[in-house]
């Protein structure tokens, strides 16, 4: 579609899968919108909720009505669920819920010659590369956070183990002392009965 004007379609998605599952499939979601609606850009927007995400998809104006139609039907959510390994028909369950679609002005892109086509391809490649880089950074951040938590938990466990050991030793030592004193007292009584002098132990 040479010189096509575009529109940005904004909508929300609710999902129980969590943001990591969605981040891992972001490239596949981009491909879905590119294949089905000739999208030139697809970005996920993260919110404070781990179960709600925003989407911004830029499509040619001629595809807007089609996207809105699929948005209102179950077809688009079914395709998104399938990307996440959920077949709504065979598994009899659904996950994604699409909400509040809105339209704003997009940009104008041209692909009237080879050069502009290559630029479009490069732009899409750069977008996917950015997605991959962001995912790698997030995975590293999660790994670092896990390592910190692991170190903290090990430290707490060792401290707790030490305190428990000290309390056990104090308790056992005290009981052993009382047992020893009791045994010595019995021995003293026996020796006194036998009229034998014995010193303190």
**What's CA 178's distance to the chain center, in Å?**
56
Cα separation, 124 vs 162, whole angstroms: 57
Q: Which of 29-43, 76-90, 110-124 has the least mean pLDDT?
A: 110-124
Q: Where are the domains of the chain?
A: 5-110
Looking at per-residue pLDDT, the higher value among 42 and 200 belongs to: 42
Average pLDDT of the residues in 28-39: 84
pLDDT, position 122:
65
> Which CATH number does 5-110 carry?
3.30.70.100
pLDDT, position 121:
60
pLDDT, position 2:
46
Structure tokens at 40: 């030139």
pLDDT, position 148:
80
Give the tens place of pLDDT for each residue, 111-164.
Answer: 443 344 555 566 666 666 666 666 667 677 777 777 787 888 888 888 888 888
């Amino acid at each position: 579609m040479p010189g096509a004007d575009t529109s940005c379609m904004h909508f929300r998605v609710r999902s129980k899968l969590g943001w990591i599952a969605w981040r891992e499939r972001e490239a596949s979601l981009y491909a879905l919108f590119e294949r089905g609606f000739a999208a030139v850009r697809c970005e996920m927007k993260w919110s404070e909720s781990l179960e709600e995400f925003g989407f911004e998809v830029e499509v040619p104006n001629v595809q807007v009505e089609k996207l809105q139609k699929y948005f209102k039907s179950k077809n688009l959510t079914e395709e998104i669920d399938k990307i996440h390994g959920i077949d709504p028909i065979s598994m009899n369950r659904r996950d994604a819920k699409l909400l509040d679609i809105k339209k704003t002005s997009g940009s104008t892109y041209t692909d009237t010659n080879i050069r502009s086509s290559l630029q479009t391809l490069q732009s899409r490649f750069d977008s996917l590369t950015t997605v991959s880089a962001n995912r790698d950074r997030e995975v590293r951040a999660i790994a670092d956070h896990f390592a910190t938590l692991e170190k903290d938990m090990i430290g707490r466990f060792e401290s707790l183990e030490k305190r428990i050991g000290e309390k056990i030793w104090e308790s056992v030592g005290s009981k052993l002392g009382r047992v020893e004193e009791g045994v010595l007292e019995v021995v003293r009584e026996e020796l006194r009965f036998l009229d034998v002098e014995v010193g303190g132990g």
